[in-house]
């Protein structure tokens, strides 16, 4: 087998893996970077694969609702010959781990296999490599025509509540809609305040987005923070001139800000009062008012997917 | 939540002088879902000593999983009515670490539902963080209402005390219809990988039918032994769900054991519904296809004999485009998957 370094940016999609925004673990600011919401994608004609990875700085905290594979592990997916994604496995290792698989064990696979690796949300990914058969090639995925989506938000966008990182709605969107999703989220109850601190840097770093999915509120967020931050964030995001979908909101609470923004002719803003759906389906979707689970992430993907069609028509 | 160094440590969120504690493990009338129906203490152990010895003689993986899981409280519930306005829980668990494919609120979670008539309303879920196994938690309760707490799916309860306000009462909260539904299966049937303990298929079915359940599933140990079929045969029950497939050593041993297992269970329960399940295989793993053929053949023979038997083809319940959403690793269900399977079981049982 020959091994390739997958930390090369040509294989990394949507990750903040190399950027300079610190993440918040909820109780402490960590100055190092983690790959939250990122994926590694590539193709290969190899028959056998071996993915080796090393993680570090795995925090121990109150993460009873979030699987350790999401926090510090990886999930590997493959695309079959019907363009459907299949999960090979989700794994966790305290420091170094390896996941090997052979194409012959799975049905319906094409000669050149597309692979996606969903990365951990808390641990630093110190190293990740893939080993393939000696005579085979590793190919880069073409990203020229892919839609670019910004997921901007707090605890739920960050992946808190997911059993494995492949269940994060941002990762589901990335693979199902074959687009690049930049997940810039903060594990912080007052996430609008944190976004305000970083919004200028975000706007400097990224030139264009086709859609922005903005987790605009959170159960524990103080109303004054919403009042002080929301307009400013929306104004800064309007530079992208793309639709902004605001979700996780109580309709009445946010409505006046949206009206204000429309008056200023900023980007088109769409409200998705998803909280009402989650409350109705709380047994299926929620741990509590504060945290959503895998199923809620699946529903979010399905709603956004439908919404993208609507947005495309309206804009 | 307060983490404890020892069980006699005082909690800091109430004045313990105003509370009296009950050792729930000495009060079996509060716990549902165990197979031990006699004795003065709660026994979470799923199997008899003889069956356990048989399983412990199997391969190493089975032995290790069985040692960890055979007395896990999966499928068990704590049910009570109280006149106390607050209830304090003091819990000591066996394991303090995560499993790689589930959250701690599943493996070690106490998932609390309030019951009004037949309606279950989710209240909260609690459980310790990584590295902790002894803790205290408080729950505010409405006097006169029933509570059903789904116990950890992948942990063992060593000690469980409930503190109620002095002078108040804690009463058992039995089901209207006593006969349970039995579940026999693998790690998925035990509860992996629901997001919280109440959302395993078995527990969802229990809620939706407001029915007692007995979950005999232990990860890796579901081998379709005749001794287990006899154990199931001897439990008076209203339905049986058999999710025995991929824990078999190989397809050869599966063929040798599956139909025999079903026939033995059917011998003891000639009339009640028995639901068979195909494999949970959402990553198109070729190795499992043969197992499904054996399931289908056994089912077909049962139908010819006009037995009250059903087959749930798990893959057929989902669209192929959704297979990457159904299970966290291609096998172990998310709540999304658990709910769909539960819905199908409930549909079949409601038609009886």
The pLDDT profile of chain A, 315 residues, written as one tens digit per residue, is 999 999 888 898 886 544 444 444 333 344 446 788 889 999 999 999 999 999 987 777 889 999 999 999 999 999 999 999 999 999 998 889 999 999 999 999 999 999 999 999 988 888 899 999 999 999 999 998 999 999 999 999 999 999 999 999 999 999 999 999 999 888 888 999 999 988 998 898 888 999 999 998 888 888 888 888 888 899 899 999 999 998 887 766 666 666 666 656 567 888 888 888 888 888 999 888 889 999 999 999 999 999 888 877 766
Cβ separation of A67 and B98 shorter than 8 Å?
A: yes
> Nearest-CA distance from A157 to chain B in Å?
17
Residue A269: predicted pLDDT: 85
B266 touches B307 (CB < 8 A): yes
Residue B315 DSSP class: G
pLDDT digits (tens, 9 = 90+) for A237-247: 999 999 999 88
Q: Which residue of A has its CA nearest to B207?
A: A283
Cβ separation of A295 and B335 shorter than 8 Å?
A: yes
Cβ separation of A84 and B101 shorter than 8 Å?
A: no
Cβ separation of A63 and B327 shorter than 8 Å?
A: no
Residue A27: predicted pLDDT: 34
Strands A39-44 and A12-13: antiparallel
Of A249, A297, A240, which is closest to residue A272 (Cα–Cα)? A249
Mutate one of B328, B339, B346 to test the A interface: name it (highest A CB count within 10 A): B328
Please, what's the b/e burial string for A13-27 (b: 16 or more CB within 10 A of its CB; e: otherwise)? bbbbbeeeebbbbbe
- The size of the A-B interface in CB pairs under 8 A is 139
DSSP H/E element including B254:
helix B251-268
Residue A256: predicted pLDDT: 64
C-alpha pair distances (Å), A57 with each of A91, A122, B129, B251, B260: 17, 8, 17, 43, 52
A168 touches A181 (CB < 8 A): no
Cβ separation of A172 and B325 shorter than 8 Å?
A: yes
Torsion over CA: B201, A155, A265, A174 (sign): negative
Beta bridge mates, A212: A150, A244
Q: Which residue of A has its CA nearest to B96?
A: A64
Cβ separation of A90 and B129 shorter than 8 Å?
A: no
Beta bridge mates, B19: B165
> Nearest-CA distance from B308 to chain A in Å?
31
Report the C-alpha gap between A87 and B325 in whole angstroms. 9
Q: What is the rounded average pLDDT of the residues B106-127?
A: 96
For chain B, list the strands marked E by DSSP: 2-3, 19-23, 31-32, 77-82, 86-93, 110-116, 119-126, 134-140, 146-150, 157-165, 170-172, 181-184, 213-215, 239-242, 274-277, 309-312
Residues of B in contact with A92 (CB under 8 A): 98, 100
Residue A8: predicted pLDDT: 86
As given in the structure block, the two tokens for residue B102 are 């589930």
Give A263's contacts (C-beta < 8 A, 6+ positions apart): none
Residues of B in contact with A73 (CB under 8 A): 100
Residue A23: predicted pLDDT: 44
Report the C-alpha gap between A303 and A173 in whole angstroms. 11
Dmax of chain B from CA atoms?
Answer: 66
Place of tokens 């048989």: B54
As given in the structure block, the two tokens for residue A298 are 């699946």
A contact residues 55-84, partner B, Cβ 8 Å cutoff: 60-69, 73, 75, 77, 80, 82, 84
Alpha helices of chain A — where are they, by DSSP H? Answer: 68-72, 155-158, 169-176, 191-205, 223-237, 251-263, 274-280, 282-285, 294-314
Is A263 in the B-facing interface, judged by CB distances under 8 Å? Answer: no
B341 touches B199 (CB < 8 A): no
Q: What is the rounded average pLDDT of the residues B5-27?
A: 96
Cβ separation of A66 and B103 shorter than 8 Å?
A: yes
Residue A29: predicted pLDDT: 44
Q: What is the rounded average pLDDT of the residues B97-115?
A: 97
Residue A308: predicted pLDDT: 86
B335 touches A295 (CB < 8 A): yes
Cβ separation of A163 and B102 shorter than 8 Å?
A: yes
Cβ separation of B101 and A90 shorter than 8 Å?
A: yes
Q: What is the rounded average pLDDT of the residues B68-82?
A: 95
B113 touches B174 (CB < 8 A): no
Is A295 in the B-facing interface, judged by CB distances under 8 Å? Answer: yes
Beta bridge mates, A91: A74
As given in the structure block, the two tokens for residue A102 are 């052979």
Cβ separation of A287 and B324 shorter than 8 Å?
A: no
- Nearest by CB to residue B103, choosing from A65, A75, A301, is A65
Of B130, B38, B42, which is closest to residue B78 (Cα–Cα)? B42
Residues of A in contact with B195 (CB under 8 A): 65, 161, 163, 287, 293-295
Residues of B in contact with A163 (CB under 8 A): 101-103, 193, 195, 328, 334
Report the C-alpha gap between B96 and B108 in whole angstroms. 9
> Nearest-CA distance from A40 to chain B in Å?
17
Q: What is the rounded average pLDDT of the residues B149-154?
A: 98
B110 touches B197 (CB < 8 A): yes
Give A189's contacts (C-beta < 8 A, 6+ positions apart): A26, A154, A155, A218, A220, A221
CA end-to-end distance (rounded Å), chain B? 44
pLDDT digits (tens, 9 = 90+) for B289-331: 899 999 999 999 999 999 999 999 999 999 999 999 999 999 9
Query: pLDDT at residue B167 above 80?
Result: yes
Of B204, B207, B44, B193, which is closest to residue B106 (Cα–Cα)? B193
Q: What is the rounded average pLDDT of the residues B151-172?
A: 97
Indicate yes or no: pTM above 0.80. Answer: yes
Is A177 in the B-facing interface, judged by CB distances under 8 Å? Answer: no
Residues of A in contact with B330 (CB under 8 A): 86-89
Query: pLDDT at residue B249 above 60?
Result: yes
Q: What is the rounded average pLDDT of the residues B7-15?
A: 96
Residues of B in contact with A77 (CB under 8 A): 324
Give B278's contacts (C-beta < 8 A, 6+ positions apart): B245, B291, B292, B295, B296, B311, B312, B313, B314, B315
> Nearest-CA distance from A283 to chain B in Å?
6
Residues of A in contact with B120 (CB under 8 A): 283
CA-CA-CA-CA dihedral for A300, A303, A305, A307, to nearest 10? -130
Is A282 in the B-facing interface, judged by CB distances under 8 Å? Answer: yes
Place of tokens 């709910």: B339
The string of DSSP letters for B23-74 reads EGGG-GGGEES-S--SSSS-----S-HHHHHHHHTS-HHHHHHHHHHTT--T
Residue A202: predicted pLDDT: 87
Report the C-alpha gap between B165 and B140 in whole angstroms. 11
Q: What are phi and psi of A196, to 5 degrees?
A: -55, -40
Q: What is the rounded average pLDDT of the residues B134-146?
A: 96
Cβ separation of A84 and B130 shorter than 8 Å?
A: no
Cβ separation of B325 and A68 shorter than 8 Å?
A: no
């Amino acid at each position: 087998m020959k091994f390739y370094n997958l930390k090369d940016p040509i294989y990394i999609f949507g990750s903040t893996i190399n950027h300079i925004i610190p993440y918040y673990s909820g109780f402490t600011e960590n100055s190092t970077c983690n790959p939250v919401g990122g994926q590694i994608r590539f193709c290969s004609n190899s028959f056998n694969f071996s993915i080796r990875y090393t993680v570090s700085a795995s925090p121990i905290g109150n993460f009873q609702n979030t699987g350790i594979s999401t926090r510090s592990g990886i999930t590997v997916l493959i695309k079959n010959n019907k363009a459907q994604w299949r999960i090979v496995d989700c794994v966790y290792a305290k420091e170094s781990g390896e996941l090997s698989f052979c194409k012959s064990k799975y049905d319906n696979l094409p000669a050149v296999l597309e692979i996606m690796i969903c990365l951990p949300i808390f641990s630093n990914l110190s190293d990740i490599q893939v080993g393939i058969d000696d005579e085979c090639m590793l190919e880069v995925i073409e990203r020229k025509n892919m839609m670019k989506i910004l997921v901007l938000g707090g605890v739920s966008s960050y992946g808190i509540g997911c059993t494995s990182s492949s269940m994060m709605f941002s990762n589901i969107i990335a693979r199902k809609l074959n687009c690049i999703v930049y997940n810039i989220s903060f594990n912080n109850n007052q996430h609008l305040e944190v976004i305000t601190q970083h919004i200028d840097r975000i706007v400097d770093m990224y030139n264009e987005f086709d859609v922005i999915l903005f987790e605009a509120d959170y159960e524990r967020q103080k109303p004054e923070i919403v009042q002080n931050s929301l307009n400013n964030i929306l104004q800064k995001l309007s530079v992208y001139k793309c639709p902004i979908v605001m979700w996780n909101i109580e309709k009445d609470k946010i409505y006046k800000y949206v009206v204000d923004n429309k008056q200023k002719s900023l980007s088109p803003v769409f409200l998705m009062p998803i909280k009402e759906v989650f409350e109705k389906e709380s047994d299926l979707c929620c741990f509590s008012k504060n945290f959503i689970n895998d199923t809620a992430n699946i529903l979010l993907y399905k709603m956004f997917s439908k919404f993208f069609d609507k947005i495309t028509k309206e804009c | 939540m307060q983490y404890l160094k020892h069980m006699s440590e005082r909690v800091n969120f109430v004045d313990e002088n105003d509370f009296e504690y009950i050792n729930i493990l000495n009060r079996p009338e509060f716990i549902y879902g165990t197979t031990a129906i006699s004795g003065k203490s709660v026994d979470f152990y799923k199997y008899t000593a003889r069956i356990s010895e048989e399983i412990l003689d199997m391969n190493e993986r089975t032995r290790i999983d069985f040692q960890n899981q055979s007395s896990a409280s999966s499928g068990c519930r704590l049910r009570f009515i109280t006149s106390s306005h607050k209830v304090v829980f003091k819990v000591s668990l066996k394991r303090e670490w995560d499993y790689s494919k589930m959250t701690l609120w599943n493996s070690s979670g106490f998932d609390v539902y309030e019951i009004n008539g037949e309606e279950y309303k989710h209240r909260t879920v609690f459980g310790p963080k990584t590295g902790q196994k002894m803790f205290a938690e408080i729950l505010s309760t409405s006097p006169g209402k029933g509570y059903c707490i789904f116990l950890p799916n992948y942990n063992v309860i060593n000690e469980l005390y409930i503190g109620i306000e002095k002078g108040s009462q804690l009463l058992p909260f039995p089901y209207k219809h006593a006969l349970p539904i039995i579940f026999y299966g693998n790690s998925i049937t035990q509860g992996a990988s629901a997001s919280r303990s109440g959302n395993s298929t078995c527990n969802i079915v229990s809620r939706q039918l407001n029915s007692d359940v007995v979950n005999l599933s232990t990860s890796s140990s579901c081998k379709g032994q005749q001794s287990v079929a006899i154990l199931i045969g001897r439990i008076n029950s209203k339905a049986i769900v058999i999710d025995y497939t991929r824990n078999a050593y190989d397809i050869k041993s599966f063929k040798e054991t599956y139909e025999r297992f079903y026939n033995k269970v059917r011998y003891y329960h000639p009339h009640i519904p028995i639901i068979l399940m195909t494999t949970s295989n959402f990553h198109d793993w070729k190795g499992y296809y043969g197992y499904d053929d054996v399931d289908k053949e056994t089912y077909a023979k049962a139908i010819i004999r006009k037995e009250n038997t059903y087959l749930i083809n798990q893959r057929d319940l989902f669209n192929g485009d959704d297979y990457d959403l159904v299970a966290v690793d291609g096998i172990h269900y998310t709540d999304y998957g658990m709910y769909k399977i539960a819905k199908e079981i409930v549909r079949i049982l409601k038609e009886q």
